[in-house]
Amino acid sequence: MRLSGRALRTGAGLLLTGALLVGCDATSSETTPSAGVPSPTGARTFKPGAAGAGDPYFPSYGNGGYDVARYAVKVRYDPKTDRLTGTATVQAAATSDLSSFNLDLAGLTVRSVTVDGAAAKHSRKGNELVVTPAHGLIAGNGFVTEIAYEGKPEPLENEVLGEGGFLHTDDGAIALGQPESASTWFPVNDHPSDKATYDFEITVPDGLTAVSNGVPAGKSDADGWTTWKWAERQPMASYLSFVVIGKLRVTTGEHKGRPVFSAVDESLGKGAADASIADTVEVADYLESVFGPYPFDAYGGVVVADSRIRYALETQSRPVYSAGFFRQGANTDVVAHELAHQWFGDSVALTKWEDIWLNEGLATYAEWLWAEHSDDRKAESTFATRYSGSPSSLWRVPPGKPGVENLFSQSVYQRGAMTVHALRVAIGDKAFFTLLKTWAADKRNANGTTAEFIALAERVSGKKLDALFDAWLYGTTRPDQPEPL
Ligand code: TRP
Ligand code: ZN
């Protein structure tokens, strides 16, 4: 889980404290100002893309009308001035005929935008960047947009969920957060339903490390600046992107043919954090035995010391941990939790935020499994303790429909994990572990929903499970003790 204890706010429980052608025929240039009006020849109607992806909890997140395949983000950041200069190249395909489309970008100043190499108009509406290409974009066609931007990045404030996004630290910066953060440092379709691959080039003053997702893809030096290159080649939800810039103690290696790259803030003496992160590959190997093949191309972990980060996050291929988790000594439970998310949360991502228990319930249950494997703390007794010892508030919040204010509540984490255990008891170990592996395999690099998970559980077990899930996910009182079905 992953809120360091001391900052746990109870109740709401969360944070501690190709380019193709449009314009070759007469109809396709029919864009604004008559957007939405059929062309005289009646062939195509180009309309603005939606300003949100349609998430019931966060309607403004993401955008409609296109699907991103790849981001190439190049930023230069100077901690002394707290200024960032960037270019983002976004390769996408239109999913409807577009006269304009939006990207999410919080703060920062846009200098220029091109679409397929031609200058495009751009305007800002709050945290939306509206791009109007010279010609309409035809549904099904690919397009490439390039945005040049700069400014002083600011985090996003969310009353319920806390700060997310770009934070200037003592000697660098951290861009991290859930359910949003990416838009504070690059223009993005900021919703997990639109996964894409990412290439990052992060240029920082010599002496600082810039670490991000995926495989290290080289490093170059010029005029007192170092450029760190990172490539995440498996599709990734935007909130799973991150960058940590600072004076970091780096460990590199290789495991099962994949690069390992971990980093711990140098202000922390070498100790429990380093030791816990060093166990990453061992924990990943255990989880692989339960969930199936590790889904990504690299391993690692990053431990940050800034007091504003009081959680860990399952950033793809390389989770980020608050130093607080390791203050009492080595802690592999949190490592097991964040690594379990690599399968459940990252590789199998959410379609909508309401289904957050699918991420947190499974990752918390993975902690129970890891405890049993590494420490002989039985999952069954962890369940029993939680079942009898949880506060009544937990039973009032349905983890399958928690509401925005309880998105990261104890119900989502603990009752979510109890739901997983109740399912295990009901269908038996054989069907249960087949289900976990099948879910990870079928939805690898994709998105899933609670309804799909339930349907698969019924298919794999051959049992009707609606009563079980109704009680555990949607009920507002404590369900009965689970029994084999
Ligand atoms: N999803 C994170 C985890 O369980 C923890 C988390 C909860 C979080 N709320 C957050 C992280 C807000 C960042 C921001 O591992
Ligand atoms: Zn989690």
Ligand 1: residues with CB < 6 A are 1-3, 14-15, 161, 164, 177-178, 311-314, 337-338, 360, 408
Q: What is the mean pLDDT of residues 65-91?
A: 98
Residue 134 CA to ligand 1 center (angstroms) comes to 41
Which of 239, 311, 331 has most ligand 1 atoms within 8 Å of CB, for mutation?
A: 311
Least confident of 22-26, 437-441, 450-454: 22-26
Residue 31 has pLDDT above 70, yes or no: no
| Model confidence band, residue 39 (pLDDT cutoffs 50, 70, 90) | low
Q: What is the mean pLDDT of residues 379-403?
A: 98
Residue 209 has pLDDT above 60, yes or no: yes
Q: Which amino acid is at 163?
A: E
Question: What is the separation of C-alpha 230 from the centre of its chain, rounded to a whole number of angstroms?
Answer: 17
Looking at residue 40, what is its pLDDT? 59
228, burial (CB in 10 Å: exposed 0-12, middle 13-18, buried 19+):
buried
Looking at residue 159, what is its pLDDT? 72
Cα dihedral 400, 401, 403, 407, rounded to 10, equals 10
Which residues have beta carbons under 5 A from ligand 2 (an ion)? 360, 363
Q: Looking at ligand 1, which residue's alpha carbon is closest to its atom 10?
A: 178
Residue 224 has pLDDT above 60, yes or no: yes
Residue 15 CA to ligand 1 center (angstroms) comes to 7
Q: What is the pTM of this model?
A: 0.92
- What tokens were used for 168? 């200037």
Residue 289 DSSP one-character state: H
Strand partners, 176: 165
Residue 424 has pLDDT above 80, yes or no: yes
Per residue in 4-30, pLDDT tens? 433 333 333 333 333 333 333 333 333
Residue 21 CA to ligand 1 center (angstroms) comes to 42
